Amino acid sequence: MTSENNAFDEQHYYALLEELQAIDFVLVELNLYLDTHPTDANAVEQFNQFTEKRWALANEFETLYGPLQNFGRSYSGFPWQWTEEPWPWQV
């Protein structure tokens, strides 16, 4: 749903998911690098910046389209949103 008209915006939905996937990829790569280079201050700073960006983007997605994860990792609106499709892992 967009904030302007509360209609499902499929293009925006997929754009946000794609950006989240790209950020997740960067975070995994930085995590692996930092496992072997823990004193690289620049890499730690990049990791923290991407983490902050991911939290903000995930919050935007969940506000507009519902939870990204279940089992208490994401809030659900009312009524229970896990009955609404598409689920993030289906796209």
Q: How many angstroms separate the CA atoms of 90 and 76, rounded? A: 18
Q: How many angstroms separate the CA atoms of 27 and 49, rounded? A: 10
Q: Which residues contact 58 (CB under 8 A, 6 or more apart)?
A: 20, 68, 74
Q: Are 48 and 3 in contact (CB under 8 A)?
A: no
Amino acid at 66: G
* Packed helices 41-65 and 10-36: angle between N→C axes, nearest 10 degrees: 150
**Domain ranges, ordered by start, for the chain:** 18-35+49-62
The pTM of this model reads 0.74
- What is the pLDDT tens value at each position of the chain, 91 positions in all? 444 445 678 999 999 999 999 999 999 999 999 999 999 999 999 999 999 999 999 999 999 988 887 766 666 677 667 667 777 767 6
